[in-house]
Chain A
Amino acid sequence: MLGLLGEQGSDFAHKVDYAHDIVTIISVVCTVAIVGTMLYFAVIYRKRDGVDHETPMIEGNSLLEVIWTVFPTLVVIWVAYLGYDSFVDMRTVPPGAMEVNVTAKKWAWDFQYANGKRTTGELVVPVDQPVKLIMTSKDVLHSFFVPVMRTKMDVIPGRYTYEWFRPIKTGDFQVFCTEYCGDLHSGMLARLKVLPKAEFERWLADDSEELKLASMKPSDRGQEIYNKQCVACHSLDGSPRVGPSWLKIYGKEGQLVGGGTYKADENYIRESIYYPQAKTVAGYEAAKNAMASYQGQLSEDDITSLIAFMKTVDGTQKIVPAQPAAPKAADAAQLAAMSPAERGKALFNDPGNMCYTCHSIDGSRLVGPSMKGIWERKSKMSDGTEIVSDASYIKESIWKPQAKVVEGYPPAMPAIYEGKLTEENVSDIIEYLKTLK
Chain B
Amino acid sequence: MSAHATTAHNEELNYLNWKTGIWSWLSSTDHKRICFLYLFTILIFFFVGGIAALLMRLELATTGPTIPSVVTSPHIYNVLFTLHGVFMIFLFVVPGIPATLGNFLIPLMIGAKDVAFPRLNLFSYYLYVIGALIGALSLWNPFSGLTAVDTGWTFYAPYSTTTGSSVSLMVFAAFVLGFSSILTGLNFIVTIHQLRAPGMTWMRLPVFIWASYATAIIQTVATPVVGMTLLLIIAERVFGAGIFDPTKGGDPVLMEHLFWFYSHPVVYIMVLPAFGVVGEIIPVFSRKPLFGYKMVVLSSMAIAAVGFVVWAHHMFVSGISDFSAIFFSLVTFLVAIPTAIKVFNWVSTMYKGSISFTTPMLYAMAFVFLFMIAGTTGIYLAMLGVDVYYHDTYFVVAHFHYTIQGGAVIGLIAALHYWFPKMSGKMYNETLSKIAFALVFIGFNLTFIPQFILGMDGMPRRYYNYPPEYQNMHTLSTIGAFMNGVGYTFALVNLLMTALFGKVKAPRNPYNSVGLEWQTASPPIHENFPETPVVDKDPYHYGTPAHV
Contacts and interface: CB of A to CB of B under 8 A. Distances in A.
Interface of A: 4-6, 12, 15-16, 19-20, 23, 26-27, 30-31, 34-35, 37-38, 41-42, 45-47, 52-61, 64-65, 68-69, 72-73, 76-77, 79-80, 82-91, 139-141, 143, 145, 147, 150-154, 156-159, 161, 174, 176-187, 362-365, 370, 372-373, 380, 408
Nearest to B391: A152
A84 B323 CA distance: 11
A52 B348 CA distance: 18
B289 interface: yes
Contact of A158 (B68, B75, B247, B380): B247
Contacts of A20: 380, 386, 389
B458 A69 contact: no
Contacts of B19: none
Q: Which of A47, A83, A364 has the most CB of B within 10 A?
A: A83
Nearest to B285: A47
B317 to A, nearest CB: 5
B65 interface: yes
Contact of B544 (A55, A88, A150, A159): A55
A72 B340 contact: yes
Interface in B503-548: 538, 541-546
Given A84-B384, A153-B317, A156-B252, A5 B456 contact: yes
B295 interface: yes
A67 to B, nearest CB: 9
B389 A31 contact: no
B377 A27 contact: yes
Given A16-B388, A59-B292, 20 more contacts: A16-B385, A23-B376, A23-B386, A31-B369, A31-B373, A38-B350, A45-B352, A54-B543, A55-B354, A58-B289, A60-B292, A69-B337, A83-B384, A139-B158, A145-B458, A147-B458, A156-B318, A186-B74, A364-B465, A370-B65
Nearest to B150: A182
B368 A38 contact: yes
B146 interface: no
B356 A47 contact: yes
Contacts of A185: 74, 78, 462-464
Interface string B152-166: 100010110011000
Interface stretch (B34-42, B113-121, B325-333, B471-479): B325-333
B548 to A, nearest CB: 12
B64 interface: yes
A38 B361 CA distance: 12
A217 B241 CA distance: 44
Contacts of B26: none
B341 A59 contact: no
B322 interface: yes
B73 A53 contact: no
Contact of A35 (B344, B357, B372, B543): B372
A5 B543 contact: no
Interface string B305-335: 0000000000001110010011001100110
Contact of B288 (A34, A55, A153, A158): A55
A257 to B, nearest CB: 16
Nearest 6 A/B pairs, CB to CB: A158-B246, A86-B385, A83-B383, A363-B64, A147-B458, A87-B384
A122 B454 CA distance: 24
Contacts of B383: 19, 23, 79-80, 82-83, 86
A156 B253 contact: yes
**A interface, by DSSP: helix, strand, loop or mixed?**
mixed
A297 to B, nearest CB: 18
Contact of A141 (B159, B334, B382, B460): B159
B246 A59 contact: no
A190 to B, nearest CB: 13
B466 A60 contact: no
Contact of A34 (B295, B347, B457): B347
13 contacts: A5-B389, A31-B369, A38-B369, A47-B354, A52-B356, A54-B354, A57-B543, A58-B288, A79-B333, A83-B383, A140-B162, A152-B391, A408-B72
Contacts of A26: 376, 379
Given A19-B386, A23-B386, A153-B317, A57 B158 contact: no
B317 A143 contact: yes
A161 B315 CA distance: 13
A181 B376 contact: no
A47 B355 contact: yes
